[in-house]
Amino acid sequence: MHTTLQAERIASGLLPIERTFDAAHVKAIHAALFSQIFDWAGQYRTVNMRRGVNEFAAVADIPAVVDDMHQQITETDWGIEDRDVFASNIATTAAIGNYAHAFRDGNGRVMRILLNHVCERSPYRLDFTLVEPAVWNQRSALTMPDQGSTEVHPEEFVPVFRVITTEAAN
């Protein structure tokens, strides 16, 4: 599959993406993964979306939500060696990114790569194979804001990130 190959190329550094953790970074990941599949690769979605009862950020709000994620990433001390604090911090990043749901398709793959890029600043790595997709999807849905709110619930993701957080190899 093309996206799997592209993800491997990003991870290995063969397809370099600047670690800015902002809109350009997120868009660059999406474009790298999907440019041969979608003509809109690397561009934010232009329609509002929902999954079940959960509404993702409105189209007009995507840039601000991605900016919030960027701010959270850049203001967090990722070098901290407390695994529980790390899990809480990375869960917050994931919850904000999940709410942004910036693209019509491929958001999960983009977020996994972005979260791995964040981990480069930490003593930890994420092993997504340690969580069942059904559990990930359920916990992800629970991070969404309550109706009429834009406040995400990252605490719902923390147990997942406690499981998938591993020590980085030296």
Q: How far apart are CA 120 and CA 168, in angstroms?
A: 9
Per-domain residue ranges for the chain? Answer: 49-167
Q: CB atoms < 10 A from the CB of 91, how many?
A: 25
Q: What is the pLDDT of residues 136-166, one digit of tens each?
A: 999 999 999 998 899 999 999 999 999 999 9
The mean predicted confidence, pLDDT, of the chain is 95
Helical packing angle, 2-12 and 107-119, nearest 10°: 10
User: 170 falls in which pLDDT band (50, 70, 90)?
Assistant: low
CATH superfamily of 49-167: Fido-like domain (1.10.3290.10)
- pLDDT tens per residue across span 75-95: 999 999 999 999 999 999 999
